[in-house]
Amino acid sequence: MRDYTVPQKNEVSEANQAIFENLESKLGFVPNLYAYYAKNETALGDYLSFQGRKSTLRAKEKEVVNLVVSQFNGCQYCLSAHTAIGKMNGFTDEEILAIRKGEISFDAKLSALAGLAQEIVANKGNASESSREAFFSAGYDESNLIDVIVLIGEKVISNYIHNFTKFPIDFPIAKEI
């Protein structure tokens, strides 16, 4: 079986080394997912631009989508990273597990968001009329819908990269459910 290694700063291009330095100054380290992207000349910068785009979704809403998609795709790396980020955004451990299970009783709007995101991922872009109606009735609009789908796409990319390579997880491991 092939061993997929995470490159060190001296093993990537100068452009990616500059991105590593920026990440180190902002985060204190370069997450292994980002480092792995740096094996490609442009993928890390492209991914960070994609990930950092302006969105109509609040930070908590983005974490709901990230957790739902990562749970559906079984990406332990992203579940671990977004559990940590979810906590930084004010979710409790119990709320994070509820989000991952699709059992959000603590916030009706986030529940509608999670339900729609889960259906979109599970059904290759499709969702039931009831999930669509719940999403829009919760106060979301079509601009938000576009941001949800863009975020799903971004998260699927990172889920698939880790699911394929299984490089080491450098966040506290998320609890299995």
Euclidean distance between CA atoms 128 and 135, whole angstroms: 11
**Which residues does 115 contact at the CB level (< 8 Å), separation at least 6?**
102, 131, 134, 135
Euclidean distance between CA atoms 142 and 136, whole angstroms: 8
Instruction: Calculate ∠ Cα 51-57-61, nearest 5°.
Output: 95
Euclidean distance between CA atoms 107 and 73, whole angstroms: 24
pLDDT higher than 90, residue 47: yes
Q: State the helix-helix crossing angle for 59-73 and 108-122, rounded to 10 degrees.
A: 40
C-alpha dihedral (41, 163, 168, 101), degrees to nearest 10: 130
- Res. 51 pLDDT band, cuts 50 70 90: very high
pLDDT at position 118, please? 97
| CATH fit for domain 9-51, picks 2.60.40, 1.10.3470, 3.10.110, 1.20.5 | 1.20.5
DSSP, res 125: T
CA atoms within 13 A on the CB side of 156: 13
Backbone angles phi, psi at 75, to 5 degrees: -95, 100
Euclidean distance between CA atoms 150 and 55, whole angstroms: 9
The pLDDT of 36-50, averaged and rounded, is: 98
Classify the C-alpha dihedral 1-37-57-144 as positive or negative: negative
pLDDT at position 29, please? 97
Q: Which two tokens stand for residue 151?
A: 């975020």
pLDDT tens-digit map of 1-27: 788 999 999 999 999 999 999 999 999
The pLDDT of 34-52, averaged and rounded, is: 97
Spell out the domain ranges in the chain: 9-51, 59-165
pLDDT at position 1, please? 77
pLDDT at position 2, please? 87
pLDDT tens-digit map of 64-106: 999 999 999 999 999 999 999 999 999 999 999 999 999 999 9
Topology (CATH) of 59-165: AhpD-like (1.20.1290)
- Give percent of the chain above pLDDT 70: 100
pLDDT higher than 80, residue 109: yes
pLDDT at position 44, please? 98
pLDDT tens-digit map of 129-153: 999 999 999 999 999 999 999 999 9
pTM of the model: 0.96
Element (H, E) at 168: none
pLDDT at position 151, please? 98
